DNA sequence: CAGTGAGCGAGCTTCCGCTTGACTT
C-alpha cells in the first residue's frame, strides 16, 4: 500500500516526510500547476481564432476558463504523474486557503487519478498535528475553488481589457491591473500633493533650563494666551496658516525680539502633569511587517528580505515566510516564553500568554506568523548564521520573543513654565519598567517618532520651582511636503487596504518599476510622467477599478461565494457584461478617449504641457502663431520638480542651441553645455563631418549646469587627469569620472588598477596627489559582498592543468560555487562544501562551459524585458 | 550611448497569485 502526498513547497515536503509512516511518498507541486495562458505562445491553435482567445476566458460561454500548463511547470507535472502511477491513494495536502484549495482541485483535474483521493489540511507541522490531519481528511471544497476561479478570471478580465486600451491611447506595452494600478495611483496622488505643496515658515523659541544640575529643554507654546503656530497649523496647499485658526505666527524678527525681551527674566514652573502609560509589544511578523521592519532597520529591499527569509526557511531556521497571520501555535508561545524566562527573567513575562488576532483585510491565515522554527527557539548566537541571514533571524527572534513579554510601563511628564506672558512646555518620559523594550522596539517611518522611543529625563520639578535659563534660542522652521512612498510604506498601505497578497508585495514594486511607472531615487518611489497619464485616464474613465476599496469589495463577494451565499457566474456576468460592466465600458470609452488628450498632461501651476512621445516625455510650449516649442525632459527630472523655470531652461537650450561657456584656451574650440539622456554634460567643439564624436564629459552628481564655469568645463574635459607618481611603485596616479562617479586610480598597467571613489567633500577638479594617496591607502569598502573583485575565496583548490590559473571556491548569494577565470559553476546542493576537490571542480566547470554555448529562448526574452 | 515627437505595418504586448530554480557572483 503506498500513498502519494502532494504539498506546495519542497521544503514542506521534506519536513512532513519525517512525520508520516512508511509507504507515504511526499512531492511538491511548486505552487499552481495550471493557469490561463499568459501570452500568445501559450494559446492552443484550436482556439486561436476565437474572439476571446486573447483573454483565455470564453466570455461567450459562461466564462469558461482555458487552462494550460505553463512551460516551467511541465516538468513538475510529468514527475507528479509518474509518482501517481506507483500510488494506490492520493492525498492533496496544499494550504487551506483559497489558492491552496484551488491548487488541489487543479491537481485532481489534471492528474485524473484512478485511485481514491483525499484532501488533508494541517496548520502546524508537528507529528501530532499531521497524524491527526491524516485521520480527518475531507473532500475538496468546490465553493472555495469557485471563489479562487472568480478571483483569477476577474483579474484577467481587468488586466487584459484595460491594458490594450492603454496601448491604443497612450503607449504600447503598458499595463493595468487591480493591484498595480492602485499602487501606481497611490504614488501619483502623493506626487500631486507634493506639486501642490507650498512651503510655509515659522519661528519659535527653545530654552535650555537647569535645575539641581540637570539640564532640560522647553519650547515656546503660547504668548499672551495665544497658541504659537507650528507646522500643523499650515495649509500645505497655500503655505499659509489655515483660515480662522487662532494662532500667533512668529516671524524671524518677532522671535528674536521676544528672545531679547525674555533674557534674564524669572522662569516659574506652573504645572507638572504626570501620566502613567503602558506600551504593548507588536504582534509577531507577517510578510508585510517583516518587509517593513527589515527595510527600516536593516536597509533591505522587499526582494532581498524575501530571498533571505527563503534561505532561512529552507535551512529550517524559521517558519514559512509568506503569511498574513499573526497567530502563534501553542508550541511557539511556550518556546517564546521559555526564552523570555531564561534570558530576561520571569518578571519580564507577560502575565498571560498573548495570542494576537489578525485584523488585516482579506487575510486568509493558512500559516502561522513568521517565527523561529521548532519547539525550542535557537538564540541568534546558537544558529551560527552570519551576514544578512543572521541579522534577519535576530530580528525575527526578537520580535517573536518580545511578543510574549510584559508591557512596558512609562510615565509621560509635561511641565509648563511661565516667563512674563510667555508659556513654555517641556515634555519628558520615564521608563518605570522596560518590559518588552528590553528585546525589541519597532522601527518607524517617521524619524521624529523614533526619537520619542528614547527616554527623555527631566529633573524632579514641582509647581513654583524657578529653574535657571541657561540659553534661549530663536529657531526657524519650514514645513515639509508629504514624504514620498518608500518600499516599506507602500507595502504597509497596500496591506492595510487589503490590496495584494504576501506572495506578491515584493513583485508589485518590481512590476511598477519594470513597466516604467516609477523609479527608485534614494529609497523613494518616484512616479513617472507615464504613471501620471495612466492614472489620469483610469481615474477619469474607470474610477471604480483604481479605488482602494475595489479589492476589499471583491474580497467580500469572494467570501460570500465561498460560503455559498453568492453565485459566482452571475457576479462575473454583471461585472463584465452588465449595463455598466467592464466590456461595455471599455468599448464605449474606446471611442470617447482621444489619444492626444490621453498623452498630454496638464500640471497644476504650469502653462506648458507635458506630452508622452515615442522617446519619452517632452514639454510643449505654445508659441503664438508659430509652431509650438518642444523639448525633451531628461529622466532625472521628476514630475514634482518640473516648474516654470525648469521648462524655461529646457526650451532655451532647445531654441538657442547649447550654451557656449567659452573657448578652450589650448584647443581653441568652443565648449558647450548640453543636456543628454544621461543628464547634463559638456562638449568640446561641435559635431561635424570630420569630428563625429567630439570630446564630452558628464557633470559629476551635485554639480549644477548653471554653476559650471569655463575653467571647470576645461577641467572636466581634461579627465582623466594625471596627479603624479605613486611614491612606492612609481606608477601613475590619476583622477577621473566613471560610471560610479568621480574616482582616483593607482594605475600599474598589467599589474592591475586600484580604484577608490572620492568622498563627498573631495573635488574631482582640484584633488591632488596627497589626497589621492590618502584615499588609496584606505581599505576598499566592501559592504555586504559588494561588487569588488577582491572577494576572499572560501578555499583555494589549486591550479588549472591547462592554463595554470587558480581555481577557487567561493560563497555567493546562490550558494557555494567554483571559479576559473570568468567561468563560474555552482556546487550541487547535496555536495558538502568541505569535500569538493580540484578534480570535481574541473568537472563542474567543464559541464558549465559546454552548456553555456546553447542559450535558451526564455533567457533571451527575459534580458530583453530588463532592457526596457 | 548624446537630440528625435507623423508614417510602411504582422504579430505581439497585458493581469494576480502560488512556487522554485535559473541567472551570476
CA at A616, C1' at B5: how many angstroms apart? 9
Cβ–Cβ under 8 Å, residues A479 and A193: no
Nearest nucleotide to A619 by CA–C1' distance? Answer: B5
- Respond yes or no: is residue A678 known to be catalytic: no
Nearest nucleotide to A362 by CA–C1' distance? Answer: B17
Nearest nucleotide to A103 by CA–C1' distance? Answer: B18
Q: How confident is residue A815, by pLDDT bands cut at 50, 70 and 90?
A: low
For A431-446, write each residue's pLDDT tens digit.
899 999 998 877 766 5
The CB-side HSE value for A257 (13 A sphere, CA atoms) comes to 5
Query: What pLDDT does residue A729 have?
Result: 86
The SS3 assignment for A798 reads strand
Nearest nucleotide to A323 by CA–C1' distance? Answer: B18
C-alpha cell at A761: 567633500
Smallest CA-to-CA distance from A173 within A617, A534, A596 is with A534
Query: Is A710 exposed, middle or buried, given 0-12, 13-18 or 19+ CB atoms closer than 10 A?
Result: middle
Smallest CA-to-CA distance from A4 within A116, A97, A96 is with A116
**d(C-alpha A463, C-alpha A414), whole Å:** 12
State the SS3 of A34-82. Answer: CECCCCHHHCCHHHCCCCCCCCCEECCCCCEECCECCHHHHHHHHHHHH
Percent of residues in chain A assigned helix, strand, coil, to nearest 5: 35, 25, 40
Show which positions of strand B are touched by protein (CB under 7 A).
1-6, 11-25
Over 50: is that where the pLDDT of A91 sits? Answer: yes
Query: What pLDDT does residue A857 have?
Result: 33
What's the whole-model pTM score? 0.80
CA at A781, C1' at B4: how many angstroms apart? 41
Smallest CA-to-CA distance from A705 within A656, A650, A760 is with A650
pLDDT (average), residues A554-566? 97
**d(C-alpha A626, C-alpha A606), whole Å:** 20
**d(C-alpha A643, C-alpha A44), whole Å:** 51
Sign of CA dihedral A590, A594, A599, A600: negative
Share of chain A above pLDDT 90, in %: 63
- Burial string for A629-659 (b: 16+ CB within 10 Å, else e) reads bbbbbeeebbbbebeeeebeebbebbeeebb
For A401-421, write each residue's pLDDT tens digit.
999 999 999 999 999 999 999
Cβ–Cβ under 8 Å, residues A319 and A286: no
Q: How confident is residue A564, by pLDDT bands cut at 50, 70 and 90?
A: very high
C-alpha cell at A455: 527616554
CA at A694, C1' at B1: how many angstroms apart? 14
Query: Given the C-alpha cell 522554527, which residue does it identify?
Result: A373
Smallest CA-to-CA distance from A264 within A456, A160, A452, A420 is with A420
Query: Is A102 exposed, middle or buried, given 0-12, 13-18 or 19+ CB atoms closer than 10 A?
Result: buried
Average of per-residue pLDDT values in chain A: 87
CA at A181, C1' at B4: how many angstroms apart? 30
Query: What pLDDT does residue A144 have?
Result: 97
**d(C-alpha A761, C-alpha A575), whole Å:** 60
Nearest nucleotide to A696 by CA–C1' distance? Answer: B2
**d(C-alpha A427, C-alpha A158), whole Å:** 52
Catalytic residue among A317, A320, A517, A576: A320
CA at A801, C1' at B21: how many angstroms apart? 32
Phi, psi of A552 (to 5 degrees): -70, -30
Query: Is A353 exposed, middle or buried, given 0-12, 13-18 or 19+ CB atoms closer than 10 A?
Result: middle
Find the residue closest to B20 using CA and C1' atoms: A30
CA at A485, C1' at B7: how many angstroms apart? 41
Smallest CA-to-CA distance from A491 within A531, A536, A537, A445 is with A445
CA at A166, C1' at B10: how many angstroms apart? 20
Over 60: is that where the pLDDT of A17 sits? Answer: yes
**Edge-to-edge strand list for the sheet holding A659-663:** A659-663, A670-676, A679-684, A696-698
Nearest nucleotide to A42 by CA–C1' distance? Answer: B12
Find the residue closest to B16 using CA and C1' atoms: A155
* Most confidently predicted of A211-215, A361-365, A784-788: A211-215
C-alpha cell at A210: 537647569
Find the residue closest to B5 using CA and C1' atoms: A613
CA at A186, C1' at B2: how many angstroms apart? 34
Find the residue closest to B2 using CA and C1' atoms: A676
Find the residue closest to B21 using CA and C1' atoms: A72
Find the residue closest to B3 using CA and C1' atoms: A676
Smallest CA-to-CA distance from A31 within A68, A76, A90 is with A76
Amino acid at each position: 500500500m503506498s500513498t502519494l502526498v502532494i504539498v506546495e513547497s519542497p521544503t514542506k515536503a521534506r519536513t512532513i516526510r519525517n512525520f508520516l509512516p512508511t509507504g507515504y511518498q511526499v512531492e511538491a507541486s511548486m505552487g499552481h500547476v495550471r493557469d490561463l495562458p499568459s501570452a500568445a505562445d501559450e494559446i492552443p491553435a484550436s482556439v486561436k481564432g476565437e474572439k476571446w482567445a486573447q483573454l483565455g476566458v470564453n466570455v461567450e460561454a459562461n466564462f469558461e476558463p482555458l487552462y494550460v500548463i505553463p512551460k516551467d511547470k511541465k516538468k513538475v507535472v510529468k514527475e507528479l504523474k509518474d509518482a501517481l502511477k506507483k500510488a494506490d491513494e492520493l492525498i492533496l495536502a496544499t494550504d487551506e486557503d483559497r489558492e491552496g484549495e484551488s491548487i488541489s482541485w487543479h491537481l485532481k483535474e489534471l492528474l485524473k487519478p484512478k485511485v481514491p483521493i483525499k484532501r488533508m489540511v494541517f496548520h502546524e507541522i508537528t507529528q501530532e498535528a499531521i497524524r491527526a490531519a491524516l485521520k480527518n481528511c475531507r473532500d475538496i471544497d468546490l465553493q472555495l475553488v469557485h471563489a479562487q476561479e472568480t478571483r483569477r478570471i476577474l483579474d484577467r478580465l481587468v488586466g487584459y481589457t484595460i491594458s490594450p486600451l492603454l496601448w491604443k491611447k497612450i503607449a504600447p506595452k503598458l499595463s493595468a491591473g487591480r493591484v498595480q494600478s492602485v499602487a501606481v495611483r497611490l504614488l501619483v496622488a502623493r506626487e500631486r500633493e507634493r506639486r501642490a505643496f507650498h512651503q510655509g515658515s515659522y519661528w519659535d523659541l527653545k530654552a535650555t533650563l537647569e535645575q539641581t544640575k540637570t539640564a532640560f529643554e522647553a519650547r515656546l507654546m503660547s504668548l499672551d494666551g495665544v497658541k504659537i503656530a507650528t507646522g500643523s497649523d499650515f495649509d500645505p496647499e497655500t503655505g499659509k496658516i489655515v483660515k480662522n485658526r487662532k494662532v500667533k505666527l512668529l516671524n524671524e524678527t518677532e522671535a528674536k525680539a521676544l528672545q531679547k525681551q525674555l533674557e534674564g527674566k524669572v522662569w516659574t514652573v506652573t504645572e507638572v502633569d504626570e501620566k502613567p502609560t503602558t506600551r504593548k509589544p507588536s504582534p509577531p511578523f507577517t510578510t508585510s511587517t517583516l518587509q517593513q521592519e527589515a527595510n527600516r532597520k536593516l536597509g533591505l529591499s522587499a526582494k532581498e528580505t524575501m530571498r533571505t527569509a527563503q534561505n532561512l526557511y529552507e535551512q529550517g531556521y524559521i517558519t514559512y515566510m509568506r503569511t498574513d497571520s499573526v497567530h502563534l501555535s501553542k508550541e511557539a508561545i511556550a518556546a517564546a516564553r521559555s526564552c523570555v524566562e531564561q534570558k530576561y527573567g520571569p518578571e519580564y513575562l507577560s502575565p498571560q500568554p498573548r495570542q494576537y488576532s489578525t485584523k488585516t483585510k482579506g487575510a486568509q491565515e493558512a500559516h502561522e506568523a513568521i517565527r523561529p522554527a521548532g519547539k525550542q527557539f535557537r538564540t541568534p548566537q546558537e544558529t551560527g548564521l552570519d551576514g544578512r541571514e543572521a541579522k534577519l533571524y535576530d530580528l525575527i527572534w526578537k520580535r517573536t520573543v518580545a511578543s510574549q513579554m510584559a508591557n512596558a510601563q512609562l510615565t509621560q511628564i509635561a511641565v509648563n513654565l511661565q516667563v512674563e506672558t510667555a508659556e513654555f512646555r517641556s515634555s519628558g518620559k520615564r521608563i518605570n519598567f522596560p518590559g518588552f523594550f528590553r528585546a525589541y522596539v519597532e522601527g518607524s517611518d517617521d524619524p521624529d517618532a523614533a526619537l520619542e522611543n528614547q527616554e527623555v529625563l527631566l529633573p524632579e520639578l514641582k509647581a513654583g520651582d524657578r529653574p535657571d535659563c541657561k540659553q534661549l534660542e530663536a529657531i526657524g522652521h519650514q514645513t515639509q511636503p508629504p514624504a514620498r512612498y518608500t518600499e516599506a510604506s507602500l507595502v504597509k498601505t497596500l496591506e492595510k487596504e487589503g490590496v495584494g497578497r504576501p506572495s506578491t508585495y515584493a513583485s508589485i514594486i518590481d512590476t511598477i518599476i519594470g513597466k516604467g511607472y516609477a523609479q527608485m531615487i534614494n529609497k523613494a518611489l518616484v512616479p513617472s510622467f507615464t504613471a501620471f497619464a495612466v492614472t489620469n485616464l483610469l481615474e477619469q474613465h474607470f474610477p471604480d477599478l483604481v479605488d482602494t476599496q475595489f479589492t476589499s469589495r471583491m474580497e467580500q463577494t469572494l467570501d460570500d461565494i465561498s460560503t455559498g451565499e453568492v453565485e459566482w457566474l452571475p457576479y462575473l456576468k454583471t461585472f463584465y457584461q452588465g449595463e455598466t460592466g467592464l466590456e461595455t465600458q471599455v468599448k464605449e470609452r474606446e471611442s470617447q478617449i482621444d489619444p492626444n488628450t490621453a498623452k498630454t498632461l496638464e500640471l497644476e501651476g504650469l502653462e506648458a504641457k507635458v506630452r508622452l512621445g515615442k522617446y519619452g516625455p517632452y514639454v510643449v510650449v505654445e508659441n503664438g502663431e508659430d509652431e509650438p516649442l518642444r523639448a525633451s525632459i531628461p529622466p532625472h527630472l521628476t514630475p514634482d520638480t518640473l516648474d516654470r523655470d525648469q521648462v524655461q531652461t529646457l526650451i532655451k537650450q532647445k531654441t538657442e542651441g547649447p550654451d557656449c561657456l567659452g573657448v578652450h584656451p589650448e584647443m581653441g574650440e568652443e565648449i558647450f553645455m548640453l543636456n543628454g539622456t544621461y543628464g547634463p554634460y559638456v562638449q568640446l567643439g561641435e559635431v561635424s563631418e570630420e569630428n563625429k564624436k567630439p570630446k564630452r564629459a558628464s557633470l559629476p552628481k551635485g554639480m549644477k549646469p548653471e554653476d559650471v564655469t569655463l575653467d571647470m568645463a576645461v577641467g572636466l574635459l581634461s579627465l582623466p587627469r594625471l596627479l603624479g607618481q605613486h611614491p612606492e611603485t612609481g606608477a601613475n596616479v590619476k583622477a577621473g569620472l566613471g560610471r560610479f562617479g568621480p574616482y582616483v586610480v593607482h594605475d600599474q598597467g598589467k599589474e592591475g588598477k586600484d580604484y577608490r571613489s572620492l568622498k563627498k567633500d573631495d573635488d574631482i577638479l582640484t584633488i591632488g596627489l596627497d589626497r589621492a594617496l590618502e584615499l588609496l591607502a584606505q581599505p576598499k569598502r566592501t559592504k555586504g559582498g559588494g561588487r569588488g573583485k577582491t572577494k576572499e575565496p572560501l578555499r583555494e583548490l589549486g591550479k588549472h592543468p591547462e592554463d595554470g590559473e587558480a581555481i577557487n571556491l567561493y560563497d555567493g548569494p546562490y550558494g557555494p560555487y567554483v571559479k576559473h577565470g570568468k567561468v563560474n559553476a555552482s556546487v550541487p546542493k547535496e555536495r558538502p562544501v568541505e569535500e569538493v576537490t580540484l578534480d570535481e571542480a574541473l568537472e563542474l566547470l567543464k559541464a558549465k562551459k559546454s552548456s553555456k554555448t546553447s542559450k535558451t529562448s526564455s533567457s533571451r526574452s527575459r534580458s530583453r524585458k530588463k532592457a526596457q
